[in-house]
Structure 1
């Protein structure tokens, strides 16, 4: 019986050991990748306004912004995620939806971007076959940082300026109970089209608060201005993720952290440690059973007259 149990333990231990080793070696490269089921809306709020063409003045008031991001699953593959991102900046007047029509007077700015990123590094990859011909080629990070982000400078794409700028690590900061790495992107006097066919310049000071484990953007602040070539200010804007958006991002990141820890830490520990213990236990049982002789008894045989049987 001990031999059977021992062999079963050895078999179970081997299974657990292999599972633990596979989880330790193979799983991180699989789970630490951008998912291809992204379909999210990010909300920001703040103060802003654009120039009134009739008066040449800017009336600053409450504004809201949204970024609708989806993965094109058909265009994506095991290595690359293809994103469609639509951004809308609107006056905070009435019941404002995630975006409004182009003729809605509340709309201040709107844009749609197509881009493809490496699912491991999060860096933008060459457009190639992933996005339609004629799409602007972006570079650097866009909508997330890589897993296990470092305290270093990363290239960060700014769609308004059409160029990647340095996102420089600044500090660690707590956001609603989560430790984040804060990176700063500064853009000064970048030449842009303030409106179609209207040249001007663009300034932005942006801080991005990153969960270093998952690379998720937890919070983002942006202070930007746009000027006509004449020097007239065309846009004045201060934006930040809403409090609710920050809370949602923290909750999502913590859920993803727990899933990562389960796959990359606990399953390997339980598998390897449990497998080794089961194998050792099984071997000991088999060896112990093998040492027992068939005629071993726990008590001596006694004849009816009280004499003991001779030992073999």
Structure 2
């Protein structure tokens, strides 16, 4: 009986050791990747000062910004994920939808983009490797990489069509989740305000990022747009809604638990449990054989 139990333990020990090896060698590369199935809606709210071009005066208004990001699962592969993103900034006036028609006076800006990122580094894919219908971006776009470091990163700004430096500013805790804080700043960059009107763009964004998964937990925006002569056209301050932040923290904690299960818990259980099972199995097999040999000797 000891020999049978010992052999079972040897088999279990070998299985656990293989699971531990896979948890160390395979799991991190397989788990720490941007999924190819993404359907995410992000909401920011705040206030703005908007120029009335007919009167030359500005007025304060409540605004909301909606971003819907969906992956193109069929076009994506093991290395690359393709995204389609629709954004809309509108004035809140009564029951206001996430976006409105082009001729609606509540519309402040709207746009659609397609882009592609590396599933491991989260960096935008080199434009030379993209099909014609995908916009060539540079730097990070919609998330940080897994295991985000306490260092500066380059983040793409689609208003000026170039990356800007996101400086690491420290750490913070949001609803029990430790996050890294990164800040981007742009000062009076030349832009097209629309209809070939030259303008200037200043922007400051603060990103609170879960360093384990690279997910953006909170974003705070302080942005201004001016005519070339310095006349203020739009001054916006907005951030993720409280509900958005709460949901992001919950999702991040769930994803962290999954990552740590496969990359830490499974290897730990595999190596320790496998070693113990192998030792116990060897001991039982050896003692079982000795018992049978002793019984055979006595019977003869």
Report the TM-score, using the length of structure 2 for normalisation: 0.95
Instruction: Name the count of aligned residue pairs.
Output: 299
* Correspondence for 1:209: 208
Q: Runs of 5+ in structure 2 lacking a partner? A: none
The aligned runs of 1:291-306 (5 Å cut-off) are: 291-294=290-293, 296=295
Residues 49 and 109 of structure 1: CA distance in aligned 2, closer, same or farther (over 3 Å): farther
* Correspondence for 1:59: 59
* Correspondence for 1:23: 23
Spell out, residue by residue over 1:256-278, the C-alpha distance to the aligned partner (whole angstroms, 9 max, x if none). 01111111111111112111111
Q: Secondary structure at the match of 1:148?
A: coil
Q: Is the 8 A contact 1:60 1:236 kept in 2?
A: no
Residues 228 and 7 of structure 1: CA distance in aligned 2, closer, same or farther (over 3 Å): same
Offset of residue 230 of structure 1: 2.2
Offset of residue 132 of structure 1: 3.0
The aligned runs of 1:138-287 (5 Å cut-off) are: 138-287=137-286
Q: Distance in 1 between matches of 2:105 and 2:203?
A: 25
Q: Is the 8 A contact 1:49 1:108 kept in 2?
A: no
Q: Is the 8 A contact 2:90 2:98 kept in 1?
A: no
* Correspondence for 1:307: none
Q: Secondary structure at the match of 2:265?
A: helix
Q: Is the 8 A contact 1:115 1:127 kept in 2?
A: no
Q: Secondary structure at the match of 2:127?
A: coil
Q: Distance in 2 between matches of 1:279 and 1:295?
A: 24
Q: Secondary structure at the match of 1:292?
A: helix
Q: Is the 8 A contact 1:63 1:91 kept in 2?
A: yes
Spell out, residue by residue over 1:46-101, the C-alpha distance to the aligned partner (whole angstroms, 9 max, x if none). 01143212012221211111110010111111101111111100111122222222
Q: Secondary structure at the match of 2:289?
A: helix
* Correspondence for 1:71: 71
Q: Distance in 2 between matches of 1:176 and 1:6?
A: 48
Q: Distance in 2 between matches of 1:11 and 1:74?
A: 41
Q: Distance in 2 between matches of 1:7 and 1:19?
A: 18
Q: Considering only aligned residues, what root-mean-square deviation do their CA atoms show, in Å? A: 1.7
Spell out, residue by residue over 1:18-48, the C-alpha distance to the aligned partner (whole angstroms, 9 max, x if none). 0111112100100000011110110000011
Offset of residue 196 of structure 1: 2.4
Q: Distance in 1 between matches of 2:142 and 2:80?
A: 14
Q: Distance in 2 between matches of 1:91 and 1:119?
A: 35
Report the TM-score, using the length of structure 1 for normalisation: 0.92
Q: Is the 8 A contact 1:75 1:130 kept in 2?
A: no
Q: Runs of 5+ in structure 1 lacking a partner? A: 301-310
Runs of 4+ in 1 over 6 A off after TM superposition: none
Residues 282 and 62 of structure 1: CA distance in aligned 2, closer, same or farther (over 3 Å): same
